[in-house]
Amino acid sequence: MRLGFSTLALFMEPLENILQKAEDDGFELVELLCEGPYWPRRLLQDGDSLEVFESFDLEVLIHAPTIDLNPASMNRGIREETGRQMVETIELASRIGATTVTTHPGVVHRREDRIRSAALQFALETLGECVEYAEDLSIKFSVENMPGRFSYLCNNPAEHERFVEKCGSYATVDIGHANTTGRLQDFLEIKRTAHYHLSDNNGKRDQHLPLGEGTVDLKLLGSIERGVIELNSYDGVIRSRRILEEVVR
- Distance separating alpha carbons of residues 52 and 36, to the nearest angstrom: 18
Crossing angle, helix 113-136 and helix 157-167, to 10 degrees? 50
Give residue 249's pLDDT. 66
CB–CB of 65/44 below 8 Å?
A: no
Give the architecture (CATH level 2) of 2-248: Alpha-Beta Barrel (3.20)
Residue 38's nearest CA partner among 20, 149, 46, 246 is 46
The ranges assigned to domains in the chain are 2-248
Helix (H) or strand (E) holding 173: strand 170-174
Q: What is the pLDDT along the chain (249 residues), one digit of tens a residue?
A: 999 999 999 999 999 999 999 999 999 999 999 999 999 999 999 877 899 999 999 999 999 999 999 999 999 999 999 999 999 999 999 999 999 999 999 999 999 999 999 999 999 999 999 999 999 999 999 999 999 999 999 999 999 999 999 999 999 999 999 999 999 999 999 999 999 999 999 999 999 999 999 999 999 999 999 999 999 999 999 999 999 999 876
Question: Count of CB atoms within 10 A of residue 234's CB?
Answer: 18
Phi, psi angles (nearest 5°) of residue 73: -60, 145
Residue 144's nearest CA partner among 121, 173, 165, 108 is 173
Written as one letter, the residue type at 99 is T
